[in-house]
Amino acid sequence: MSKAYLFDLDGVFYISNRLIEGGNQTLAHLRSKQIPFRFVTNTTTLSRRKLWEKLSGLGLELMESEIVSANYTGVLYLKQQQARSCKLILHDNAKEDYQEFESIDNYPEYIVIGDIGNRWNYELMNELMNDVLKGSKIIALHKGRYFQTDEGLKIDTGAFVAGIEYVTQQQAFVIGKPTPSFFELAASEFECLPHEITMVGDDLINDIYGAQQMGYRSILVKTGKYREELYNASSIRPDSLIPSIAELIQ
């Protein structure tokens, strides 16, 4: 058993607001052995408190301090940089995490960009371009190209971040799985070596590949977005493949 764990959430502990059997028992076992863990997710639409409330409402037994979302990782990065001011291009439910920083509209030190749905428009893009040209730095909480909805595929935040990069010729600092910066921040409180950390997830790229480039052990669960045909077609191989989170402690 590893000395510390990173867990993906959606697809590992729950699917469509329904808990996956055995998850809470696995967490209780790790706590009984005093093995630390963190939940890591690319969610940017909720603050850490609101995400904790949602997950607790589903019945998942976790603490708010154990959640490291892409949104909260932006906070950790700003602290590292000793930032004073930022502009938040975020959903209103996600802004709560950034209360310790001064939020300003004109030429902030940093611009934090997450998911804002269909609120993207020409005026906003032009405003952000001018901020960057005046010296603001971009923090992209992720750089997704598109995402699946009940109505089909929709364009994601990465397209707008790429547009700002193109016109300003300045690269965004990207946070979120599978970037090394995300994993470094998520595991920053673990007092162990990289090979003593295990990442458990359902995504070959974001979870397994991301962990492997950090030197972590990796475990893929056959729940969530796992598909056997995609697994067989991929060159990425986890250290272990298990049916579900319940089997982690077997």
- Asked whether residue 76 falls in the same domain as residue 163, the answer is yes
The separation between CA 101 and the C-alpha centre of its own chain, rounded to angstroms, equals 21
Nearest to 173 by CA among 124, 132, 208: 132
For residues 15 and 130, give the distance between their C-alpha atoms in angstroms, rounded to a whole number. Answer: 41
How many structural domains comprise the chain? 2
- Asked whether residue 148 falls in the same domain as residue 164, the answer is yes
- Kindly report, residue by residue over 41-88, the tens digit of the pLDDT: 999 999 999 999 999 999 999 999 999 999 999 999 999 999 999 999
| Cβ(52)–Cβ(62) below 8 Å | yes
32 within domain boundaries: yes
58 within domain boundaries: no
Distances (CA, A) of 7 to 40, 162, 245: 6, 29, 10
- Asked whether residue 158 falls in the same domain as residue 194, the answer is no
Please report, for the domain that includes residue 189, its CATH number.
3.40.50.1000
What pLDDT shows up at residue 60?
98
**Boundary residue ending a domain (174, 201, 236):** 174
- Asked whether residue 229 falls in the same domain as residue 208, the answer is yes
9 within domain boundaries: yes
Q: Is the pLDDT of residue 97 over 80?
A: yes
Q: Give the residue numbers spanning the domain of 14.
A: 4-42+180-249
50 within domain boundaries: no
55 within domain boundaries: no
- Kindly report, residue by residue over 154-206, the tens digit of the pLDDT: 888 999 999 999 999 999 999 989 999 999 989 999 999 999 999 999 999 99
Distances (CA, A) of 135 to 130, 168, 169, 238: 9, 10, 12, 41
For residues 37 and 248, give the distance between their C-alpha atoms in angstroms, rounded to a whole number. Answer: 13
- Asked whether residue 123 falls in the same domain as residue 207, the answer is no
- Asked whether residue 18 falls in the same domain as residue 92, the answer is no
- Asked whether residue 105 falls in the same domain as residue 38, the answer is no
**Boundary residue ending a domain (130, 148, 174):** 174
